[in-house]
Amino acid sequence: MTWNGWAQIALVLACVLAAAVPLGRYIAAIATGRVAFLAPVERLLYAAGGIDPQRGQGWRAYALAMLAGNAAGFLLLYALLRLQGVLPLNPQGLAGLSPWLAFNTAVSFVTNTNWQAYSGEVAMSGLSQMAGLAVQNFLSAATGIALALAVSRAFAASGLRDLGNFWADFVRVTLYLLLPLALVLGLVFVALGMPQSLAASVQATTLEGGTQTIPLGPAAFQIAIKHLGTNGGGFFGVNSAHPFEGPSALATGLQIGAQQVIPFALALTFGRIVGDLRQGRALLAVMLASVVLATAAIYAAEAGGNPLHLAAGIDPALGNMEGKEVRFGQALAALFTATTTGASCGAVNAMLDSFTPLGGLVPMSLIQLGEVLPGGVGSGLYGMLVFAMLAVFVAGLMVGRTPEYLGKKVQAREVKLAMLAVLVLPVAILGFAAVSLVLPAALGSVQDQGPHGLSEMLYAYSSASGNNGSAFGGLTADTPWLNTTLAIAMLLGRFAYVVPVMALAGSLGAKPKSPAGTGTFPTHGPLFAGLLAGVILILGGLQFMPALALGPLAEHFVLLAGKTF
Amino acid sequence: MRAILRPAFAVVGLFTLLLGLAVPLGFTGLAQLAFPAQANGSLIERNGHVIGSALLGQDFAAARYFHPRPSATTEADPDHPGQTRAAPYNAAASAASQLGPTSAALLAAVRERVAALGGGRVPADAATASGSGLDPHISPANAVAQMARVAAARGLPEARIAVLLQAHTEGREFGLLGEPRVNVLRLNLALDALR
């Protein structure tokens, strides 16, 4: 680790925070319908769908509208991927995807996971990327943010019968937040070197007389929304490690910022919606502290290098460079990795499979902690609010009082719903990974032997269930078993999580909001922040400890003993 | 049911036309007008022929050129259908080794590369494959280690190569971000231009 490296990390995080403050205010304005510079487009969409944006929806109607929108998106994307062979904008003449792969990919992009069992430049036509995958990058992100706004409103007032209108939130977030940001960032990305062209490739004759096929395509715009929407699905196979997808350290720094800024801003938006900015800041502080700690852990592990390789004669100055790019260096690779896994983005600028065991343990743990540090756009905030309610519940148990969060009583029904949501992740991750680790059909996908093989499988189901999408890339994921079970894990992680959360919001919204009294546990101070971090660590982390001990931790000690597989 | 499905298909369908066709096509036009070089792959031409991209590495094996980092990209093997074979810097299919830290195959590859470079302390980037398989850069230390070989192969004094290398060593962006590096293709082009 170097001081320069830490200065890079500090600069990027300072810029993200500076941008999150005004953005949080702006999103709050969108949530209340005060932004309307594309009102004609908005009205057209409402008219076509027969939508009355003023009509409030209870939690059931809101969730049902969300599910219907996502189902429509899935069907459209599945059809597009299966039929890409006969559709236009396919200059390479790529065939349609297999049913397994199309199912997996469509689920993956609709659930904001962007797990990729294919390689972009090898499998996807320009039309599939542009009109299929990139559209879902917008819509799945808008879905998450809309849900977070609905959940936030539940804490704002007494006796709420509705949580807003899903279609109004969904359309406004897309038009006024995601689209303008993606256009601006996309143009900056083109200037920095990302292609944006309708040509698929160009042939070059290299200096030594060989030929090189240089891939092109409508990349920059899709890459912009892939980070802003914490989607993470790369245009090119190796994601942001590709020189066209991460052309410079500045580009990778902007991507780190883009995949953090909306989740951070939403914490502040929450503070505005509930009318107490300090509440949002407390959540943000927990998120930020965890990003810094996780970055430090990855940076230390990777900058130290792989002891086996150092013993073989590699100079330790650059750290572990397998799977990493020279232009980024260890500091920005570590910060990128901590933010992409903490924020449920899943883009990568270095190959996690080749990280040292401890360097790879941190991103896997960040996903398993529930994708709330700061989590995906929207999903991070509502996940954090679930943990906040569990934290006040734990505090209430300690002093024997009915717990309250922001004046809303958290009672048996709420705690049951919160636990139902929180339990989805361990069931999906540990359940599927355990079955896959004894099934011969699944084990054939594992590339590395020894504990690292276990890590590859565990990471895959963590990534899918947490709707992250990054991978230990050695795993051969394009098989019927993995395509199907990973898709089920993604569906569980998204929808089996959020439906109980919406029920929770509905139940809380209807309750009276009692004013804070002398006995109220303040939820904006360091005591609460510490308690919240503790609940996330214990509830989210402890259940994965045995699996992590068999995977990355075992590999760490095996590595120190000098053993290879 | 209709009341639930109609908004879903109408909004998703219209957004597909807007965000999937109209906006990206318009944006492509704007990008082509504003930044034509970058939007089309930052291509480098020599004598009217495209010889590569400033952003993508390419394979160099001859002693008179600086060599890039090892690359894990592959291509379809014409002799064994369904299998692949090594094809360094195949830009049509970016790839990393994805080998784990305790992989015996990776350790063997590292040892082989270190031995091929004459042993001793080898810069890390010279003995490891990049994440993309297309890394256009090497570290300045890696370039310095190759100077003597390039000078001998070209029959040029090493000092002359050193001056060229100095000019092609890029510092951190804004003096802060990223790491110092050397673009191998640009350096080799400059070498060829030396007369």
Residue of A nearest to B15 (CA): A135
Whether residue A206 is contained in a domain is answered as no
Which among A325, A456, A470, A556 is the top mutation candidate for probing chain B, defined by the most B β-carbons within 10 Å of its own β-carbon? A325
Q: Round to whole Å and give the CA distance between A478 and A32.
A: 43
- Residue A97 CB coordination number (10 Å): 25
Q: Does A459 touch chain B (CB under 8 A)?
A: no
- Determine the pLDDT at residue A8: 97
Which among A321, A456, A476 is the top mutation candidate for probing chain B, defined by the most B β-carbons within 10 Å of its own β-carbon? A321
Whether residue A412 is contained in a domain is answered as yes
Which tens digit of pLDDT belongs to each residue from A345-397?
Answer: 999 999 999 999 999 999 999 999 999 999 999 999 999 999 999 999 999 99
| Residues A432, A474 share a domain | yes
- Determine the pLDDT at residue A518: 80
Which tens digit of pLDDT belongs to each residue from A237-290?
Answer: 999 999 999 999 999 999 999 999 999 999 999 999 999 999 999 999 999 999
Q: Does A238 touch chain B (CB under 8 A)?
A: yes
Is residue B195 over pLDDT 80?
no
Mean pLDDT of A545-552: 96
**Please, are residues A313 and A200 in contact by the beta-carbon 8 Å criterion?**
no
Output the six-digit token pair for A278. Answer: 């300090």
Mean pLDDT of A480-488: 96
Is residue A516 over pLDDT 90?
no
**Please, are residues A356 and A302 in contact by the beta-carbon 8 Å criterion?**
yes
- Determine the pLDDT at residue B161: 96
Whether residue A320 is contained in a domain is answered as yes
| Residues A289, A197 share a domain | no
End-to-end Cα separation, chain A, in angstroms: 29
Of A75-84, A138-147, A162-171, A397-406, the least confident: A397-406
Q: Does A82 touch chain B (CB under 8 A)?
A: no
| Residues A354, A238 share a domain | no
Q: Round to whole Å and give the CA distance between A354 and A306.
A: 10
Q: Among B24, B58, B100, whose Cβ lies nearest the Cβ of A452?
A: B100
**Please, are residues A346 and A114 in contact by the beta-carbon 8 Å criterion?**
yes
Boundary-marking domain end, from A275, A299, A327: A275
Residues 6+ away with beta carbon under 8 Å from B90 = A212, A213, B71, B73, B74, B75, B133
Cβ contact, residue pair B101, A357, below 8 Å: yes
The DSSP letter of residue A203 is E
The DSSP letter of residue A131 is I
Give contacts of B 53-72 with A, CB under 8 A.
Answer: 53-62, 65, 69
Q: Among A7, A314, A354, whose Cβ lies nearest the Cβ of B124?
A: A314
Residue B120 backbone class (left: φ over 0; alpha: ψ -120 to 50; beta: rest): left
Q: Among B55, B94, B121, whose Cβ lies nearest the Cβ of A237?
A: B94
| Residues A550, A466 share a domain | yes
- Residue B82 CB coordination number (10 Å): 6
User: What is the three-class DSSP state of A533?
Assistant: helix
User: What pLDDT band is residue A335 in, cutting at 50, 70 and 90?
Assistant: very high
Mean pLDDT of B60-86: 95
Q: Among B32, B57, B94, whose Cβ lies nearest the Cβ of A236?
A: B94
Output the six-digit token pair for A246. Answer: 């991460």
Residue of A nearest to B131 (CA): A323
A552–chain B nearest CA distance, Å: 10
| Residues A461, A335 share a domain | yes
Task: List phi, psi (to 5°) of A415.
Answer: -65, -35
Amino acid at B148: A
The gap from C-alpha A63 to its chain's centroid, in whole angstroms, comes to 21
| Residues A359, A225 share a domain | no
Q: Round to whole Å and give the CA distance between B93 and B87.
A: 10
> Considering only CA atoms, which of A499, A509, A284, A252 is closest in space to residue A388?
A284
**Please, are residues A137 and A233 in contact by the beta-carbon 8 Å criterion?**
yes
Q: Which residue has the tokens 């070089």?
A: B37
B131–chain A nearest CA distance, Å: 4
Cβ contact, residue pair A194, B130, below 8 Å: no
Using a CB-CB distance cutoff of 8 angstroms, which residues of chain B are in contact with residue A122? 92-93
Cβ contact, residue pair A139, B15, below 8 Å: yes
- Determine the pLDDT at residue A43: 97
Whether residue A209 is contained in a domain is answered as no
The gap from C-alpha A283 to its chain's centroid, in whole angstroms, comes to 17
Task: List phi, psi (to 5°) of A440.
Answer: -55, -35
Q: What is the overall mean pLDDT for chain A?
A: 95
| Residues A440, A313 share a domain | yes
Which among B6, B19, B128 is the top mutation candidate for probing chain A, defined by the most A β-carbons within 10 Å of its own β-carbon? B19
A175–chain B nearest CA distance, Å: 10
Longest dimension (CA), chain B: 81
| Residues A397, A296 share a domain | yes
**Please, are residues A120 and A236 in contact by the beta-carbon 8 Å criterion?**
yes
User: What pLDDT band is residue A222 in, cutting at 50, 70 and 90?
Assistant: very high
The gap from C-alpha A189 to its chain's centroid, in whole angstroms, comes to 21
| Residues A260, A318 share a domain | no
Output the six-digit token pair for A491. Answer: 């569906």
- Residue A400 CB coordination number (10 Å): 6
Whether residue A565 is contained in a domain is answered as no
Amino acid at A191: A
**Please, are residues B142 and A212 in contact by the beta-carbon 8 Å criterion?**
no
Q: How many CA atoms lie within 13 A of A515 on its CB side?
A: 2
Q: Does B184 touch chain A (CB under 8 A)?
A: no
Whether residue A208 is contained in a domain is answered as no
User: What pLDDT band is residue A539 in, cutting at 50, 70 and 90?
Assistant: confident
Which range is most confident: A288-297, A436-445, A511-520?
Answer: A288-297
Q: Among B28, B41, B133, whose Cβ lies nearest the Cβ of A198?
A: B28
> Considering only CA atoms, which of A329, A208, A248 is closest in space to residue B55?
A248
Cβ contact, residue pair A452, B103, below 8 Å: yes
- Determine the pLDDT at residue B122: 96
Output the six-digit token pair for B5. Answer: 């499905």
| Residues A548, A498 share a domain | yes
| Residues A194, A90 share a domain | yes
Is residue A515 over pLDDT 90?
no
Mean pLDDT of A125-145: 95
Is residue A496 over pLDDT 80?
yes
- Determine the pLDDT at residue A174: 98
From the number of C-beta atoms within 10 Å of its C-beta (0-12, 13-18, 19+), residue A275 rates as exposed
Percent of chain A with pLDDT over 70: 100
Give, for A409, the enclosing helix (H) or strand (E): strand A408-409
Q: Does B86 touch chain A (CB under 8 A)?
A: no
| Residues A226, A122 share a domain | yes
The DSSP letter of residue B74 is E
Using a CB-CB distance cutoff of 8 angstroms, which residues of chain B are in contact with residue A451? 102
Domain that holds residue A289: 278-560
Q: Does A181 touch chain B (CB under 8 A)?
A: no
Which tens digit of pLDDT belongs to each residue from A184-208?
Answer: 999 999 999 999 999 999 999 999 9
- Determine the pLDDT at residue A92: 86
A550–chain B nearest CA distance, Å: 14
B154–chain A nearest CA distance, Å: 15
Q: Among A68, A312, A354, whose Cβ lies nearest the Cβ of B98?
A: A354
**Please, are residues A5 and A330 in contact by the beta-carbon 8 Å criterion?**
yes
When divided into structural domains, chain A yields a total of 2
User: What pLDDT band is residue A520 in, cutting at 50, 70 and 90?
Assistant: confident
End-to-end Cα separation, chain B, in angstroms: 77
Which range is most confident: A14-28, A436-450, A470-484, A509-523?
Answer: A14-28
Which tens digit of pLDDT belongs to each residue from A388-406?
Answer: 999 999 999 988 888 999 9
Global pTM reads: 0.97
Q: Among A65, A249, A349, whose Cβ lies nearest the Cβ of B177?
A: A249
Which tens digit of pLDDT belongs to each residue from B107-134?
Answer: 999 999 999 998 889 999 999 999 999 9
A246–chain B nearest CA distance, Å: 10
Give contacts of B 123-162 with A, CB under 8 A.
Answer: 123-125, 127-139, 141
Using a CB-CB distance cutoff of 8 angstroms, which residues of chain A are in contact with residue B97? 322-323, 351, 354
Cβ contact, residue pair B12, A72, below 8 Å: yes
Whether residue A207 is contained in a domain is answered as no
Using a CB-CB distance cutoff of 8 angstroms, which residues of chain A are in contact with residue B186? none
Q: Does A565 touch chain B (CB under 8 A)?
A: yes
- Determine the pLDDT at residue A107: 97
Residue A194 backbone class (left: φ over 0; alpha: ψ -120 to 50; beta: rest): beta
Q: What is the 3-state secondary structure (H, E, C) of A478-496?
A: CCHHHHHHHHHHHHHHHHH
Using a CB-CB distance cutoff of 8 angstroms, which residues of chain B are in contact with residue A73? 12
Q: Does B85 touch chain A (CB under 8 A)?
A: no
Which tens digit of pLDDT belongs to each residue from B145-164?
Answer: 999 999 999 999 999 999 99
Residue of A nearest to B3 (CA): A50
Is residue A50 over pLDDT 90?
yes
- Determine the pLDDT at residue B1: 81
**Please, are residues B97 and A354 in contact by the beta-carbon 8 Å criterion?**
yes
User: What pLDDT band is residue A91 in, cutting at 50, 70 and 90?
Assistant: confident
Whether residue A38 is contained in a domain is answered as yes
User: What pLDDT band is residue A519 in, cutting at 50, 70 and 90?
Assistant: confident
Q: How many CA atoms lie within 13 A of A156 on its CB side?
A: 22
Which tens digit of pLDDT belongs to each residue from B4-24?
Answer: 999 999 999 999 999 999 999
Which tens digit of pLDDT belongs to each residue from A110-121?
Answer: 999 999 999 888
Boundary-marking domain end, from A275, A291, A308: A275
Output the six-digit token pair for A403. Answer: 């717990």
Boundary-marking domain end, from A275, A303, A326: A275
Using a CB-CB distance cutoff of 8 angstroms, which residues of chain A are in contact with residue B54? 193
Which among B2, B11, B44, B191 is the top mutation candidate for probing chain A, defined by the most A β-carbons within 10 Å of its own β-carbon? B11
Cβ contact, residue pair A309, B110, below 8 Å: yes
Strand bridging mode B137-138 / B181-183: antiparallel
Residue of A nearest to B55 (CA): A243
Q: Among A131, A319, A323, whose Cβ lies nearest the Cβ of B131?
A: A323
Give, for A451, the enclosing helix (H) or strand (E): helix A451-465
Task: List phi, psi (to 5°) of B109.
Answer: -65, -40
Q: How many CA atoms lie within 13 A of B123 on its CB side?
A: 16
